Amino acid sequence: MITVEEAQARMGADVRPLPGEVVPLMDAFGRVLAEPVVARRTQPPFAASAMDGYAARAVDVAAVPTTLRVVGTVPAGATFEGRVGSGECVRIFTGAPVPDGADAIVIQEDTEPAGDGTVLVRETAVAGRYVRPAGLDFATGDAVLPAGRLVGARDLGLAAAANVPWLSVRRRPRVAILSTGNEIAMPGDPVGPSQIVSSNGPALVAFVIASGGQPIHLGNAPDDVDAIGRLVEGAMGADLLVTTGGVSVGEHDLVRPGLARHDLSLDFWKVAMRPGKPLMFGRMAGVPVLGLPGNPVSCLVCAMLFLRPLIDALLGLDRGGDGEVRLPLAAPVPANDRRQDYLRARIVIDPSGATAVEPFSRQDSSMMARLAAADALVVRPPNAPAAPAGTPVPVLRFPVGHLRV
Ligand code: AMP
Ligand code: MG
């Protein structure tokens, strides 16, 4: 048996990022940058006022009260063409360029109109205060976002401010999904008395979308080598093939011989984890193949641990341990055996107001309702001793947000 980390490392070593494609800025949300975003302008492009008030020379307002002559006005979007001279000021509004000659902003609250085109200044103003110098935020040529970045709303705003209307992003990985099993019916189909409805296919479709990929649902293959071999032809040209079920050692576990109808180089590992069964990884006709267990909870936990990192690798995305935290246990857990355990758990607020993690008391790996109710997986390393409530433990949070998995 190999460890989860070893299996992840072997898969990661086998997959390279996909090429980039150029998309309009507003289509880039949720995509991964293939190239850095380089600013096409300096922001702010000029020294700008940060307040409504009067642009003046600091030397003229060093002693107050004093009266200045208002020689012009400059709202945002306009420019004062003249120069502020001794004893003069220009009415200015937030975002407007500070006129030549002026080096200070007297905020409106510190003034009052004094008639005859003059203003009374009651407080001193310091040079540079309330002035945003040109390039305060970024300058033309700055790489404002690095390659490999998952583009969020703030990033989109930054790229827009930098006047970059097109972004180079990784192509979405095309992930073909095949479920297998004589007993499997599709949701909504007539379901015989000894059949079960495929939860893995639909869940994996959503999982792939949430991970930034483009699913191709190939359907369900019966436990038949020819049928499996034919259906996986739909994965030719995909960036990844994911199968569920049929990867154990039983005589109805025919995914491997089915794939062997095509050019196949396959590793087949026993991974020391629970939930989870033998895992398959390799290539069929050049397409990376990940064989997940059929058991629905195992399938989705293994998707979290192996499919998501594979899609990340195709996207050139490093999530940097996002979602990995340590939290105190809200309830005791027993000692673990030699398999790394992933306990479905809820994140709770304990009586002291602290965040804690509470594994479900029953961890049967067929329980989909529990899996859906879980917020996180508690990681129990091999041979971990029994742990009382309060023990900090490693936790993998399910990603939250719009693209929930
Ligand atoms: P297998 O790995 O093919 O032996 O499947 C293990 C268990 O998972 C069996 O109880 C299957 O009925 C179940 N199973 C397999 N595929 C699916 C699926 N697509 N949806 C839900 N359950 C499945
Ligand atoms: Mg099966």
The per-residue DSSP string of 231-300 comes to: HGGGGTT-SEEEEES--SSSTT--HHHHHTTSSEEEEEE-BSEES---EEEEEETTEEEEEE-SSHHHHH
Residue 321's pLDDT is what? 86
Query: Same domain, yes or no, for 10 and 62?
Result: no
The residue whose C-alpha atom lies closest to atom 8 belonging to ligand 1 is 295
Query: Same domain, yes or no, for 204 and 63?
Result: no
Query: Same domain, yes or no, for 250 and 279?
Result: yes
pLDDT reading at 72 higher than 70: yes
Pair of tokens at residue 86: 């001794």
pLDDT reading at 315 higher than 70: yes
Share above pLDDT 90 across residues of the chain, in percent, rounded to a whole number: 92
Which residue shows structure tokens 């293959």?
A: 221
pLDDT reading at 86 higher than 60: yes
Boundary residue ending a domain (102, 132, 162)? 132
pLDDT reading at 182 higher than 50: yes
State the CATH number of the domain containing residue 379.
2.40.340.10
Give the pTM.
Answer: 0.91
Protein residues with C-beta less than 5 angstroms from the ion ligand 2: 181, 245-246, 294
Query: Same domain, yes or no, for 211 and 271?
Result: yes
Query: Same domain, yes or no, for 26 and 163?
Result: yes
Query: Same domain, yes or no, for 186 and 300?
Result: yes
Q: What is the mean pLDDT of residues 121-125?
A: 97
Residue 38's pLDDT is what? 98
Q: Which atom of ligand 1 is nearest to the CA of 250?
A: 4
pLDDT reading at 403 higher than 80: no
Our answer on whether the CB atom of 200 is closer than 6 Å to any ligand 1 atom is yes
Which residue shows structure tokens 């048996």?
A: 1
* Nearest residue to 217 via CA among 262, 186, 252, 245: 186
**How many residues would you count in the chain?**
405
pLDDT reading at 277 higher than 90: no
Query: Same domain, yes or no, for 24 and 165?
Result: yes
Task: Round the average pLDDT of the chain to a whole number and report it.
Answer: 95
Residue 405's pLDDT is what? 41
Residue 28's pLDDT is what? 96
Our answer on whether the CB atom of 246 is closer than 6 Å to any ligand 1 atom is yes
**Domain range holding 158?**
20-42+141-170
Share above pLDDT 70 across residues of the chain, in percent, rounded to a whole number: 99
Our answer on whether the CB atom of 298 is closer than 6 Å to any ligand 1 atom is no
pLDDT reading at 39 higher than 60: yes
Q: How does pLDDT run across 207-242, given as a tens digit for each residue?
A: 999 999 999 999 999 999 999 999 999 999 999 999
Query: Same domain, yes or no, for 31 and 77?
Result: no
State the CATH number of the domain containing residue 32.
3.90.105.10
Residue 370's pLDDT is what? 95
405 falls within a domain: no
How many independent structural domains does the chain possess? 4
What single string gives the DSSP state of each residue in 291-353?
Answer: EE-SSHHHHHHHIIIIIHHHHHHHHT---TTTTEEEEEBSS-BPPP-SSEEEEEEEEEE-TTS
Q: Which residues pair with 215 in a beta bridge?
A: 175
